[in-house]
Amino acid sequence: MKLPDQQEINQQLFKLVQQLIRVIVVLFVFNLVLILFLAYGIPKINLEKWFEDKPTPSSTASTSNDDIKSDPYAFWKAPAISTLEKDPNKDLILYGKELIANTAAYLGPKGKVAKISNGLNCQNCHLEAGTKPFGNNYSGVASSYPKYRARSGTVEDLYKRVNDCFERSLNGTALDTSSREMQAIKSYIEWLGKDVPKGTKPNGVGLAELAFLSRPADAEKGAQVYKTHCVSCHQANGEGVWNEEKTAFVYPALWGPNAYNSGAGLYRLSRFASYVKYNMPFGVSYTNPVLTDEEAWDVAAYVNSQKRPSIDISKDWPKIIEKPVDHPFGPFADGFSEKQHKLGPFDPIQKEIKKLKEKQKKES
């Protein structure tokens, strides 16, 4: 029997050492992965996103809701206040912001400038002084006004649009267009939209559209949604919460004598549902909603079924075919009832209006 020589022994030992090193490396890597997993969990890897070919969003380009929802950084952002340092209109613009944020202190029931509104602040509807994405912000106002509005059937300027809010949402009287207050509000709104080209709509402008339900909105179901998510701030009877001096609302009234009236935009169900879906309960945003679509529609039906101030709207929508599907007051061109126009379902109304407009276009 031939014994292995020293060279063969050395080769076998070298192979054993190599195998041992491999085992040690594998065990080290395994333990490292295990430690990282225990510390951080398994990271989510979106392979589709890696290979997705989409342009970088700009602050003024139009983007669909789906695109924006997948990229929360696509939203329009208000100009920084610090950029006002050398602006000759700095004081007027800052006063305009103050009026939007604390309208009631200056123009409410105990206003120190005038007593022309109901105690709500403009930013109760136009959140964060009109700068929050899909919080009814002012980003696209300066770029779109003057413009034709079907509600009045006329071309409206910015003064008319601001006073619409005073007369409807604030259930008050119009501001004098030459007043310092009106000029301040106008200057602030125009400054917010100064970087938005005329005729364009920035990402996150106004309110996000909410898909229609296939059924009528249910006020009884909405009452439960209100009790669960809204009552702690807006109170059981929708009266809101006044500050200690009773000069302004800490939490706005949603119905009753101090609420928006029947001519306000939020009295349309689609506007209120979209607003609460992406902004309420207070603190949520478009990218982290709390309410489901159905809950948003139902609570909108509940709130807007409560008593509130009314306003003469007999001159609204002079061309009745231009009335929105959820405008709750007749007459209508489409033959559907006031109840369906108020609560839905809205898809059948929308389809009928589309047919009527196509027919009208062919006949003209």
Domains and CATH numbers, the chain: 74-304 (1.10.760.10), 320-363 (no CATH)
In the predicted model, is pLDDT for residue 61 greater than 90? no
- Span 77-94, average pLDDT: 96
pLDDT at 8: 59
Q: Residue with structure tokens 């929360």? A: 72
- Identify the pLDDT of residue 67: 46
Q: What confidence category does residue 248 fall into, taking pLDDT thresholds of 50, 70 and 90? A: very high
Question: Which range is least confidently modeled, 11-15, 141-145, 360-364?
Answer: 11-15
Alpha-carbon span 17 to 22, nearest angstrom:
9
pTM of the model: 0.80
Burial label, 188 (beta-carbon count in 10 A; 0-12, 13-18, 19+): buried
Provide the pLDDT for residue 357: 95
The rounded distance, in Å, linking the Cα atoms of 126 and 101 is 9
Residue 364: what pLDDT?
82
Q: How far apart are the C-alpha atoms of 293 and 319, rounded to whole Å?
A: 31
CB proximity list for 326: less than 8 A, separation 6 or greater: 268, 269, 270, 271, 341, 342, 344, 346
Average confidence (pLDDT) over 255-274: 98
| pLDDT of residue 24 exceeding 80 | no
Higher pLDDT, 157 or 17: 157
Percent of the chain exceeding pLDDT 90 equals 79
CA distance 338 to 216: 12
**Contact between 229 and 223 (Cβ < 8 Å):** no
Q: Distance (Å, rounded) from C-alpha 286 to C-alpha 329? A: 30
Helices assigned H by DSSP within the chain: 6-40, 47-51, 65-70, 90-101, 103-107, 127-130, 141-144, 158-167, 180-192, 219-229, 231-234, 269-279, 293-304, 338-343, 347-363
Of the pLDDT bands very low, low, confident and very high (cuts 50, 70, 90), residue 45 is very low
Measured between alpha carbons, how far is 264 from 92 in angstroms, rounded to an integer? 27
Closest of 32, 12, 13 to residue 24, by C-alpha: 32
Asked if 328 contacts 267 with a C-beta cutoff of 8 angstroms, the reply is yes
Q: What average pLDDT score do residues 284-295 get? A: 96
- Give the pLDDT of residue 53: 35
Q: Is the pLDDT of residue 62 over 60?
A: no
Residue 25 has pLDDT above 90, yes or no: no
Question: In the predicted model, what is the mean pLDDT of residues 314-339?
Answer: 96
pLDDT range class, residue 15, cuts 50, 70, 90: low
